[in-house]
Structure 1
């Protein structure tokens, strides 16, 4: 039996509401997953999206603290990290992502929170 090796990335989302619309975006699992998938497809193409789509999963989102935890395979975590770095907006609101921690275990991720 083969063990599936994961990487968990703890990301903080900075929302610049002063440069966007009057109504800031609410962070949801759907919003963040959509912009990550769109960024992977834009920067790495269909093949890059297909390779990372099987393991990409948003495990935790807190709209108050703007922290999210993303699970991805060990082989694709640098590609997903690069794609997340290139995300500039969610909807019409300018955002930026800050990587707080990368870990191979789910339990250790909560130490960064």
Structure 2
């Protein structure tokens, strides 16, 4: 008997604060609001039947609100529909968003490796942008916290 097959997508979320309600961070990304945005897009673009068939394995496994990186799981049969719905998401809450696929893999281990690589690069970029406004201890603590969270996805 063959086990249930999934696909894992490492996605980058771009926020557009100018089209939202203003401020530095117009919305805090969470598993709930990303999941709701994708489910709303599935319902709008593929109807109730498309939503129901996609929800069999759909889950937002990981979200980092600092680096705007997330990991999304979908069934192998429905991953293209979920991916299409993700590209059609234009708003989360009151903020305009755009998703960018960084990696698509068939195993959680490969997905974790890709996410760790992306997180490391994004944290370095984040540290350069903030410069001396952030203490190195804070950045290292945030990095360690997110790396631990990613590593626990395997279990």
Same fold judged by TM-score > 0.5? yes
**Distance apart, 1:22 and its partner CA:** 2.0
Q: Which runs of 4+ in 1 moved over 4 A?
A: none
**Distance apart, 1:20 and its partner CA:** 1.3
Structure 2 gaps, min length 5: 116-155
CA distance in 1 between partners of 2:16 and 2:63 (Å): 18
CA distance in 2 between partners of 1:49 and 1:85 (Å): 15
Q: Per residue, is there more helix in 1 or in 2?
A: 2
- How many residues get paired? 113
1:75 aligns with 2:80: no
Task: Tell me how large the CA RMSD over aligned residues is.
Answer: 0.9
Give TM-score scaled by structure 1 length: 0.96
The structure, 1 or 2, with the larger RCO (C-alpha pairs under 8 Å, 6+ apart) is 1
- In the other structure, the counterpart of 2:57 is 55
Q: Deviations over 1:52-85 (max 9, x none)?
A: 1111011111000100000110000000000000
CA distance in 2 between partners of 1:58 and 1:92 (Å): 20
- In the other structure, the counterpart of 1:22 is 22
Give TM-score scaled by structure 2 length: 0.71
- In the other structure, the counterpart of 1:105 is 107
CA distance in 2 between partners of 1:65 and 1:22 (Å): 19
CA distance in 1 between partners of 2:112 and 2:56 (Å): 24
1:44 aligns with 2:59: no
Q: Deviations over 1:76-103 (max 9, x none)?
A: 0000000000000111111000000000
Q: Per residue, is there more strand in 1 or in 2?
A: 1
